[in-house]
Amino acid sequence: MSAPIINPEVVLSAIDVVTTASTSGPSRVPGVVAGVTTDRETIALTAAGVRAIDDPAPMTTDDVFAIFSTTKAITGTVALQLVESGQLDLDAPARSYLPALGDVQVIDGFDVDGNPRLRDPRSEITTRHLLTHTAGFGYDFFNESYRRLTSEHGVPSIVTAEMASLRTPLLFDPGTQWEYGTNIDWAGLVVEAIAGRRLGQVMSERVFEPLGMNETSFTLTPELSERRAVMHHRNADGELSANHSWALPAEPEVHMGGHGLYSTVGDYLKFIRMWLNDGRSDSGHQVLAVETVADAERNHIGDLKVKMLPGVIPALSNDAEFFPGMPKSWGLTFMINDDDAPTGRPAGSLAWAGLANLYYWIDRRNKIGGYWATQILPFADAASVGGYLEFETATYRALQG
């Protein structure tokens, strides 16, 4: 099937309407940047609203966002590059690269005193498990056992970027279930162990420089900091409050491959474009082999399916599920919608999101993808995710027109 003929002016007009509507009215988002790319170029990039709800300065298309879990696909990309070079076997025990993974136990609930009951795992963790969220690691805002570990047993929040925040037990034996969690943070540490450099340096050399992603980093320069969008919290009454003091650690102990990057929408569209363009950069640099891209977009979790994410810490996340009732699988390292989505996204497309209500999709069939960026907690904020789905739907309607 050939890709549709795309009129950039029609797409930009369509998404302008959505972003303007999303930043208006009582249930608005304070500000949003949204962009659409084909496999050749960014065809639409727009901003609406304000950088902070209590400041009239407008949101601009070059504003900087903490991109949270949309970091994960970039970590997956550098891991796949190591597979291509023969340095990483996805199915070998991950402890052979990172011995700390050999010490991890499985939690089987809590005893009468509230202490975790631990046992040895019945199978080895592999890097494929880590990249597909089948290793057994979780998140405290999506899993009650992990919430108890942070609230009752002193495990730091992952946002601290401390190694101690990753030293948690597995929720099940590797390979037996799908559970969203810190798996790809561990995959980033596997990359570091093989490459002998910090993850940010590996990403810079292997992804950011070839793609021209000059505004993506684990740490903020003063210039990037000046353009940073402000984090907001949606209160119980639906009102928004700006948190000007919120930031990821300036000098993180761990470069968290699961959530730690800052970026701009324009930069991330370059990354999406590489995936649409069979692994090639705009300049023709082969970031990933064509065969690697084709393998990464297929289901790697067998009969397992992506589950609804229960929001067990309401300040951080609501209950979250993309297209409820639709089966969804997982590739390397994206969610795959197994059926056509109501937005117009065809079956087999790739997508994921970030905790502060950032969302993207990659449609390799039609050679189009998009990114929607806000800075609002909790995740799955109705106005934010609703605006994103309207953005995606408007894009596909514009293609049909």
Longest dimension (CA), the chain: 64
Distance CA 163, CA 67 (A): 20
Please compute, for residue 181, the number of CA atoms within 13 A of its CA located in the half-sphere on the CB side: 30
Report the alpha-carbon angle 358-271-58, nearest 5.
45
Helix (H/G/I), strand (E/B), else coil: 132: helix
Query: What DSSP state is assigned to residue 155?
Result: P
The catalytic site residues sit at: 69, 72, 180
Cβ density class 127-137: b for 16+ within 10 Å, e for less: bbbbbbbbbbb
Q: At what angle do helices 265-276 and 72-84 cross, to 10 degrees?
A: 40
36 forms beta bridges with: 44, 370
What are the backbone dihedrals phi and psi of residue 307, each rounded to the nearest 5 degrees, phi first?
-100, 165
Give the count of beta carbons closer than 10 Å to the beta carbon of residue 98.
20
Q: How far is CA 299 from the centre of its chain?
A: 18
Output the six-digit token pair for 78: 């550098």
Taking each helix axis from N to C terminus, what angle separates 183-195 and 72-84, rounded to the nearest 10 degrees?
40
| Residue 65: both structure tokens together | 């966002």
Cα(309)–Cα(318) distance, rounded to whole angstroms?
A: 8
CA angle at 320 for the pair 12 and 35, rounded to the nearest 5°? 15
With H, G, I as helix, E, B as strand and everything else as coil, classify residue 358.
strand
